[in-house]
Amino acid sequence: MMSRPAFWVHLLAALFLAPSHSSRAAVLPLVLNTWSGDFTGATHTAFDVLSQPGPAGDRLNALEKGLNYCELHQCGGSVGFGGHPDATGEVTLDAMIMDAVTHDVGGVGGLRRVKRAISVARGVLEHTNHSIVVGDAATRFAVEFLGMEEETLSTPESEKAFEVWEEGGCQPNYYRGFVNCTTACPPYQLSDNDKEEKMKKPGTGISSSSSGRSSIKRQARFSPHVHEGNHDTIGMVVIDAQGDLACGVTTNGLGNKVPGRVGDSPLPGSGCYVENDVGGCACTGDGDVMLRFAPSAHAVMFMEGGASPTEAAERMIRKVAAFYPGYRGGMVCVNKRGEYGAAGYNFGLSFSVKGAGMQEVETFDVTPLGGVRKGGRKEKEEEKEESVARID
């Protein structure tokens, strides 16, 4: 017979680990997509392509066209051009596409002045022997080799957002350990102590402090400012009628990010990941934190070990939360059989699905684990509505 303490331990563990909702299932072909609202247009588009006969219905075609939808329609104001500018006011894009049949990847990071980032990522996959191309070089590849148009990614809305941020003293931002970085706009300088440490030659010691450490505090590196309203990603997993998988991700990244920052989106195993005999997952949220755990790859491995899609997603985001309990993130997963689920942490995640036999795209809201920190998308929308009401 189990002892009383052991009984309570097992009971509490069962309650803590119980999935917030069970995984659902759809008939193949299937498209699974992070977010609802205007993001469902991408789900519709991808499924329509996937349903076409012959080569036109190729899974990579479906991903590209589906994700193009959000890149060109600015889904959520956070995907594609005119979205969140970086700390210089420029909008840059990250994207990745992965084919489970070949286990091949194409990605771009910090792409400038080209709107269809996922198409450039596919170009990297199909027309180079590399996996990721970044920055201006990615732009030159897109324009000179793929024949894409070079154009500004800024809009009056993104320019206004940058102006408002500057007027607020460039706060919040994602710099740390610099003089005045919490009160003023960049560029910033190191403190005199940090400058002295950086200038020291090898073998002369690493610090003048009594502790022998840098004056920069070594603390958990995650931003409390990341929420659904100042960044986002569209992540998509498709399964064709033959049961073959592919996944893709595209985003303009985190608002007011440090120029050159690349998040989890273009990194295989982080932004998304697929195994053709198991399933696939895609992530959204605080990519700087989540990429440290290769969450999509781990969740697929959990499904390979027998976990349902929901269980795999919840297990993975709890793994991240064990180190960063205040982070925001979420993921969607689907297995080879068309069973799908999702999980979010401190994050009001929704997702959309369309499978064979569904007349319309179905959407779901996920009850977040860990609660919801303040500052999320719904709160921002409510604040905006209240502000408009006061003006009226």
Question: What are the catalytic residues?
Answer: 233
CA pseudo-torsion sign 6, 10, 15, 17: positive
Place of tokens 């840098």: 214
Place of tokens 């005999």: 277
- Is 90 exposed, middle or buried (CB count within 10 Å of its CB: 0-12, 13-18, 19+)? middle
Contact present, 377 and 348 (Cβ < 8 Å): yes
Q: How are beta strands 272-275 and 279-285 bridged, if at all?
A: antiparallel
Question: Tokens at residue 96, please?
Answer: 């990745």
- The one-letter amino acid code at 101 reads V
